[in-house]
Amino acid sequence: MKKRSLSVYIHLPFCAQKCLYCDFASGPAGKEEIAAYMRLLTKEIRSFEAISSLYRVETVFFGGGTPSFVAPFYISQILNQLRKQYEFSETPEITLEANPGTLDAEKLVTYRKAGVNRLSLGLQSIHESELKLLGRIHSYEDFLESYEMARQAGFTNINVDLMSALPKQTMGKWKKTLETVAALKPEHISAYSLSIEEGTPFYERYGEGRIGRLDLPGEELDRAMYHFTKEYLGSQGYRRYEFSNYAKKGFESRHNMTYWTLGDYVGFGQAAASYLQGRRFSNPAGKEEYPEASRTAYQRFRAMAPQSEKEAMEEYMFLGLRTARGVSREDFQKRFGKPFPKQYEKELLELYRQDLVEQAGGRIWLTDAGIDVSNIILARFLLD
Amino acid sequence: MTIPQDHIRNFSIIAHIDHGKSTLADRIIEQTGLLTAREMQEQILDNMDLERERGITIKAQAVRTIYKAKNGEEYILNLIDTPGHVDFNYEVSRSLAACDGALLVVDAAQGIEAQTLANVYLALDNDLEVIPVINKIDLPSADPDRVIEEIEDVIGLEAHDAPLISAKNGINIDQVLEAIVHKLPAPKGDPEKPLKALIFDSFYDSYRGVVVFFRVMDGRVRKDSRVKLMASGAAYDVVEVGTFGAGQLIPCEELSAGMVGYLTASIKNVKDTRVGDTITEAARPCEEALPGYKKVQSMVFCGMYPADGAKYPDLRDALERLQLNDASLTYEPETSVALGFGFRCGFLGRLHLEIIQERLEREYNLDLVTTAPSVVYKVHTLKGECIDLSNPTNMPDPTLIDYMEEPVVSAEIMVTTEFIGPIMKLCQERRGVYEGTEYIETTRALLKYTLPLNEIIYDFFDALKSRSRGYASLDYSLKGYVRSDLVKLDILINREEVDALSFIVHESTAYERGRKMCERLKEEIPRHLFEIPIQAAIGSKIIARETVKAVRKDVLAKCYGGDITRKKKLLEKQKEGKKRMRQIGNVEVPQKAFMSVLKLDQDD
């Protein structure tokens, strides 16, 4: 029997200090707490044993928090557990998020040995003032050191996270960040526009009405930065393959692509989300809720009804349209056994006329102008 | 138990809003032992939620209590509550006509207000004995001596032995009760004469039909009598008569001259029992009806549409039901290009409109879109016809119009002298014609203006309050129609005329209104993928323009860890938001934009 591809997400909700823009389930923790969490996490992974044989693991992603904050043997332990349960692809993509200042040569060697072959480094900015404003605890020099160490340890696939549209940021400063980082030639760059989300320290501090005090760049500058990013990174050999992700050829994150193309993925750990056999489920975000949630995850999955065809169609569209490849009628037909609903054709025609989507070779994707206003566009693919 | 006529007191309480009428009523009910304190809900007379929240009394109601006076005798006190707002002037006058006396409650700190005066005059017109009562004497700013003097000077009422009370704290309420018994007259009237009774209120009950509230002037009415309503001419067999408990009806055998009570007679609609009408015996009618009956006319109109077009039948049913209890509410179906099917509804005034709107939304769970309120204009065409125009959309082409008239009111504004300037300025801005000033005392004046009704139905009240730090009070009554230079202002969104946003204004204010309307709409209409011009026009002439810029950025950069639910929620919210919009051409206009005309002067 042919096994189905699976991506695995592991959430490690620990970090040295919460960043001001962060709305993920994470925070500082002591050794005891981390050890207890790991035990629960391992049990949760094990509880899915009954269906493990149906899958071959293609990608694993350790996210957080700061996964490099925990002792590296935990990473080995988890990967060992996964390998025990699942068949792995011959060329798996195994990513670990790390923050500068939390890495050392020994950790890196342990990661390599455990099978981690892709590092994602959170830099955000090369400017001291911007890092401070975001509540980051490292300097650009710390990053550089970590980056060099990772290369020396043999990592040949590195992503660097950057952020544009920061408070008080100018185009000049953003350019400088991009140029400096591109010169290091990482294989992959994620460049996000900052958004102030509810539940973040930023939001708490500035609240709804006071976000103006943050002195964020206006929409025009925000978009100019975004468009410049594509143009500049393009000139440096990076292609934008999703709204905020840029990669050298062949280094697009396979794990990310699973999300955008409705592939199966299972998430373990606090707040982790899964999409498995047409069922979307996730663990609650609260720390206190995880012990119970970790024990019941598999039962909850089994008890759940798969999503409706309507929901799947909607997701196929609004996730697929985030990627540069876009969606295709042929894929759609194959997946759902029927062509695009009339509503989609009608919306697409209108969007095409407004130059918000482009099409060629049977595929349809958003133009740059379309990406700028994508929330409005994607909402139209929710079915009545 | 029969109580002789001279042991009955029929009275009402006159007061300005917030001067403590309802609280005093509560205390009277409490201290006459009809209810224990535990059973007292705050403000028993106001039994609609809405009334309690707004702190005003909407519909007249009545309550009967038994008071054992200090002389050892028991008296029946019939307290007839009156609505406290200028919209309900006629109803107030009919409630007063059912009484023999009234308590005039005046705030010891604030003194007499325009509305107090108006209601006192109404009471005196109805030959009522009026006893002043000074309330809120416990307030630090209370100045009872000044207020007593004011009452004597301005109204000419003896006030030196007026009870000084605090209704809130229950101070000296017994003095009020004794005054009611000893200073207010007992009802007169001959029980042997043919029945003559005044209807002062009614409400619809789904079991009993219409319950009619009335005061017997002469004669008697009992179960199974056949009665006739003199204005409507309809005759009914009385099913039940009775008196008012607190919040309940207590049946009895008979009501005779001087008594206040209710009757039911399988009457289907409150419209058949108009306030002010006279009830008499079918077989032995009285010679003439009681004076003062008036058919109530709607003064303010607006379009009401269900936000969800499918709810049209629900809105129709709700209006029908509300009308059962409110004969002054009128409605008829109308259609708008922008809003679909709805109703043009008529009200006594702006407050009445708001109350109905809130009741529809709250009690009937309807989401409404309301268009700008309009008064009734008279359009004289070149053909010599005269058209009553209550919906701006129906205004004939200007080339066919000879001239137009608009309703004006006589307004009396009570204000402390320091605010005379700002208030006169306000009246001038609202096209008021100054008629005179009366100084009540050195620090207060009564300004008299003739004002166009359409200038006071939007936000005149609010403006009055804000420009006088809350001190000015207003009373007005319809004066008549005057010739006026009126134009229809149209609004174009993305070059399409939106009928539901058209309104009629005086030529001199058209430019300003148009500009503000465009500004307001610019705030209300969300940005689209394209630029949207918003224009105000008179005929084909554009007089104001604003632009809603196109969206530049609406994108969610990050979807973390495969958790797409938040993203989906965001998109769903976007889609949901779109559903609550009205499609005008290819522009989505939020429902509340249609109401934005109401708030034109908010930023002043």
The predicted-structure confidence for B91-101, as pLDDT tens digits, reads as follows 888 889 999 99
Over chain B, what is the mean pLDDT? 86
Entry field: residues in chain A: 384
What is the structure's pLDDT at B575?
Answer: 83
In whole angstroms, give the CA distance from residue B256 to residue B196.
10
Residue of B nearest to A165 (CA): B557
Q: In which band, very low, low, confident or very high, does the pLDDT at B147 lie, cut at 50, 70 and 90?
A: very high
Report domain extents, chain A: 4-260, 309-379
Q: Which of B552, B561, B568 sits opposite A63 (nearest CB)?
A: B561
In B, which residues are within 8 Å of A195 by CB distance?
556-558
Residue bearing the bigger pLDDT, B90 or B53: B90
**pLDDT above 50 for A340:** yes
Contact status, residue B216 vs residue B200, Cβ threshold 8 Å: no
Q: How many percent of chain A have pLDDT more than 70?
A: 98
Contact status, residue A377 vs residue A366, Cβ threshold 8 Å: yes
Q: In which band, very low, low, confident or very high, does the pLDDT at B563 lie, cut at 50, 70 and 90?
A: confident
Q: In which band, very low, low, confident or very high, does the pLDDT at B154 lie, cut at 50, 70 and 90?
A: confident
Top mean-pLDDT range of A16-20, A228-232, B146-150, B246-250? A228-232
Buried (b) or exposed (e) across B439-448, using 16+ Cβ within 10 A? Answer: ebeeebbbbb
CA distances B240 to B225, B250, B412, B421, Å, are: 10, 10, 43, 57
Distance in Å, alpha carbon of B63 to nearest chain A alpha carbon: 50
Residue bearing the bigger pLDDT, B38 or B90: B90
**pLDDT above 90 for B328:** no
Interface probe with A: pick from B551, B563, B566, B572, most Cβ of A within 10 Å: B563
Q: Is B177 strand, coil or helix?
A: helix
Picking from B138, B153, B148, B184, the residue whose alpha carbon sits closest to that of residue B11 is: B184
Q: End-to-end distance of chain B based on CA atoms, in angstroms?
A: 61
pLDDT tens digits, A281-299: 999 988 999 999 999 999 9
Contact status, residue B532 vs residue B493, Cβ threshold 8 Å: yes
What is the structure's pLDDT at B54?
Answer: 46
CA distances B346 to A74, B304, B373, Å, are: 75, 10, 9
Q: Where are the alpha helices (DSSP H) in B290-395?
A: 312-325, 350-363
Q: If you ran DSSP here, which 8-state letter would residue B219 be given? A: S
Per-residue pLDDT, averaged over B389-405, amounts to 92
Q: In which band, very low, low, confident or very high, does the pLDDT at B72 lie, cut at 50, 70 and 90?
A: confident
**pLDDT above 90 for B33:** no
Q: Rg of chain A over CA atoms, in angstroms? A: 21
Q: Which of B556, B560, B578 sits opposite A24 (nearest CB)?
A: B560
Q: If you ran DSSP here, which 8-state letter would residue B460 be given? A: H
Picking from B275, B269, B267, the residue whose alpha carbon sits closest to that of residue B227 is: B267
| CATH of span A4-260 | 3.20.20.70
What is the structure's pLDDT at A362?
Answer: 86
Query: A343 φ, ψ to 5°?
Result: -55, -40
Chain A, chain B: beta-carbon pairs less than 8 Å apart: 93
Over chain A, what is the mean pLDDT? 93
Are B552 and A376 an interchain contact pair (Cβ–Cβ within 8 Å)?
no
Per-residue pLDDT, averaged over B428-452, amounts to 90
Per-residue pLDDT, averaged over B62-74, amounts to 86
Top mean-pLDDT range of A87-101, B152-166, B219-233? A87-101
**pLDDT above 60 for B60:** no
Per-residue pLDDT, averaged over B239-267, amounts to 86
Contact status, residue B259 vs residue B77, Cβ threshold 8 Å: no
In whole angstroms, give the CA distance from residue A173 to residue A164.
10
Distance in Å, alpha carbon of B513 to nearest chain A alpha carbon: 30
Per-residue pLDDT, averaged over A145-159, amounts to 97
**pLDDT above 90 for A205:** no
Residue of A nearest to B572 (CA): A379
**pLDDT above 70 for B246:** no
Picking from B314, B333, B352, the residue whose alpha carbon sits closest to that of residue B391 is: B333
What is the structure's pLDDT at A290?
Answer: 95
Are A354 and B564 an interchain contact pair (Cβ–Cβ within 8 Å)?
no
Are B561 and A273 an interchain contact pair (Cβ–Cβ within 8 Å)?
yes
In whole angstroms, give the CA distance from residue A37 to residue A13.
9
Are A259 and B575 an interchain contact pair (Cβ–Cβ within 8 Å)?
no
What is the structure's pLDDT at A211?
Answer: 63
What is the structure's pLDDT at B63?
Answer: 84
Per-residue pLDDT, averaged over B77-97, amounts to 80
**pLDDT above 90 for B377:** yes
Distance in Å, alpha carbon of B583 to nearest chain A alpha carbon: 15
Per-residue pLDDT, averaged over B75-96, amounts to 80
Distance in Å, alpha carbon of B480 to nearest chain A alpha carbon: 49
Distance in Å, alpha carbon of B582 to nearest chain A alpha carbon: 16
Residue bearing the bigger pLDDT, A16 or B57: A16
Q: Which structure tokens are listed for B34?
A: 């009809």
A346-349 CB contacts, 8 Å cutoff, 24+ apart = A347/A380, A347/A381
What is the structure's pLDDT at B46?
Answer: 47
Q: Is A266 strand, coil or helix?
A: strand
Sheet holding B62-68, edge to edge: B62-68, B74-80, B8-15, B101-107, B129-135
**pLDDT above 50 for B569:** yes
**pLDDT above 50 for B498:** yes
Minimum mean pLDDT among A102-116, B151-165, B534-548: which range?
B151-165
Question: Are both A4-260 and A309-379 of the same fold?
Answer: no
Q: Which of A223, A318, A322 sits opposite B553 (nearest CB)?
A: A223
**pLDDT above 80 for A212:** no
CB distance from B541 to chain A under 8 Å? no
Q: Which fold has domain A309-379?
A: Arc Repressor Mutant, subunit A (1.10.10)
In B, which residues are within 8 Å of A267 by CB distance?
561-562
Bridge partners of B259, per DSSP, are none
Per-residue pLDDT, averaged over B157-166, amounts to 92
Distance in Å, alpha carbon of A116 to nearest chain B alpha carbon: 18
In whole angstroms, give the CA distance from residue A69 to residue A15.
6
What is the structure's pLDDT at B39?
Answer: 43
Residues in Cβ contact with A104 at an 8 Å cutoff, skipping those fewer than 6 apart: A149
Per-residue pLDDT, averaged over A234-252, amounts to 97
What is the structure's pLDDT at B179?
Answer: 95
Contact status, residue B190 vs residue B163, Cβ threshold 8 Å: no
What is the structure's pLDDT at B452?
Answer: 95
In whole angstroms, give the CA distance from residue B520 to residue B544.
12
Q: Which of B553, B562, B565 sits opposite A372 (nearest CB)?
A: B553
What is the structure's pLDDT at B1?
Answer: 45
Q: In which band, very low, low, confident or very high, does the pLDDT at A18 lie, cut at 50, 70 and 90?
A: confident
In B, which residues are within 8 Å of A280 by CB distance?
564-565
Residue bearing the bigger pLDDT, A121 or B249: A121
Sheet holding B340-347, edge to edge: B330-336, B340-347, B300-306, B368-370
Helix axes of A105-114 and A140-152: crossing angle, nearest 10 degrees? 50
Are A371 and B555 an interchain contact pair (Cβ–Cβ within 8 Å)?
yes
Q: Which of B552, B575, B578 sits opposite A223 (nearest CB)?
A: B552
Per-residue pLDDT, averaged over B73-97, amounts to 81
**pLDDT above 50 for B43:** no
Minimum mean pLDDT among A180-194, A247-261, B84-98, B220-234: which range?
B84-98
In whole angstroms, give the CA distance from residue B437 to residue B421.
12
**pLDDT above 80 for B231:** yes
Find the helix or strand (DSSP H, E) in which A76 lies. helix A72-85
In whole angstroms, give the CA distance from residue B483 to residue B486.
9
Per-residue pLDDT, averaged over B113-131, amounts to 85
Give B395-436 as a 3 state SS string: CCCHHHEEEEEEEEEEEEEEEEHHHHHHHHHHHHHCCCEEEE
Q: In which band, very low, low, confident or very high, does the pLDDT at B546 lie, cut at 50, 70 and 90?
A: very high
**pLDDT above 90 for B333:** yes
What is the structure's pLDDT at B590?
Answer: 87
| Residue recorded with tokens 């928090």 | A65
Q: In which band, very low, low, confident or very high, does the pLDDT at A82 lie, cut at 50, 70 and 90?
A: very high
Q: Which of B530, B561, B567 sits opposite A9 (nearest CB)?
A: B561
Q: In which band, very low, low, confident or very high, does the pLDDT at B463 lie, cut at 50, 70 and 90?
A: confident
**pLDDT above 70 for B48:** no
**pLDDT above 70 for B430:** yes
Per-residue pLDDT, averaged over A232-253, amounts to 97
What is the structure's pLDDT at B407?
Answer: 95
Residue of B nearest to A369 (CA): B552
The amino acid that residue B149 corresponds to is E
pTM: 0.69
Q: In which band, very low, low, confident or very high, does the pLDDT at B247 lie, cut at 50, 70 and 90?
A: low
Find the helix or strand (DSSP H, E) in which A301 lies. helix A290-303
Residue of B nearest to A7 (CA): B562
Per-residue pLDDT, averaged over B243-270, amounts to 85
**pLDDT above 80 for A329:** yes
In whole angstroms, give the CA distance from residue B237 to residue B29.
33
pLDDT tens digits, A87-125: 999 999 999 999 998 899 999 999 999 999 999 999 999
